[in-house]
Amino acid sequence: MKNWIIEKTGFDQQEIAANGNRFLCGNGYMGIRGTLEEYGKEQLCAINLAGLYDKVGEGWREPVNAPNPLYTFLCVDGVKYVLPQSETICHEQRLDYRHGLVYRKTVFKTAQGTVTITTEHFAHMEKRHLIGMMYYITSDYDAEVELYTGIDADVWDINGPHYDEVNMNLDENTLVVQAVTHEKKEKVVVAEYGVLNGICEQAYEKSEKKFLRKICFQCRKNKLAYLEKLAVVYTGNDCGDPLEDAKKDLAESVNMGYSFMRKKQIDCWEELWKNSEVEITGDKDAECALNYSLYHLLSIAPFHAKSQSIPARGLSGQTYKGAVFWDTEMFMLDFFLNSHPKAAKALLQYRIDTLPGAQEKARHYGYEGAFYAWESQEGGFDACSDYNVTDVFTGRPMRTYFKDKQVHISAAIVYGIMKYVNRTGDSELLYHGGAETVLECARFYDSLLLQKVHTDVYEIRDVIGPDEYHERVNNNGYTNRMAQYTFEQACILLRQCSKDKRMAEALKEYDIEQIRMRFEDNARKIYIPKPDKEGIVPQFDGYRKLEDTTVEKVRSRLLNEKEYWGGAYGVASDTQIIKQADVVTWMVMFPDDFTAEEKWINWSYYEPRTEHGSSLSACMYSILACSCGKPQEAYPLFLKSAQADLKGGGKEWAGDIYIGGTHPAAAGGAYMTAINGFGGVKIADGQVTAVPQLPESWEKLKFRILYQNQIYEITETKENAEIRKVSCELEEM
Which DSSP category does 66 fall into? P
Burial-class residue 723 by CB neighbours within 10 Å (0-12, 13-18, 19+). middle
Is 679 in a helix, a strand, or coil? coil
Give the CA distances from residue 34 to residues 93, 128, 132, 450, 609, in Å, rounded to whole numbers and listed in that order.
9, 18, 14, 51, 36
Cα separation, 23 vs 9, whole angstroms: 13
Instruction: For residue 70, give the nearest of 5, 20, 120, 117 by alpha carbon.
Output: 120
Is 710 in a helix, a strand, or coil? strand
Cα separation, 682 vs 667, whole angstroms: 20
H helices of 354-465, where?
A: 355-364, 402-405, 409-424, 428-429, 435-448
What is 314-340 written as a DSSP string? TTS-SGGGG-B-THIIIIIHHHHHHH-
Which DSSP category does 532 fall into? -
Cα separation, 570 vs 389, whole angstroms: 11
Exposure b/e, 259-269, CB count within 10 A at least 16 = b: eebbebbbebb
Residue in 459, 468, 607, 633 annotated catalytic:
468
Q: Which residues contact 281 (CB under 8 A, 6 or more apart)?
A: 698, 699, 700, 701, 702
What is 489-506 written as a DSSP string? HHHHHHHHTTT-HHHHHH
Beta pairing partners, 575: 547
Beta pairing partners, 171: 174
Question: Is-catalytic flag, 468?
Answer: yes
Instruction: Supply the residues annotated as catalytic.
Output: 468
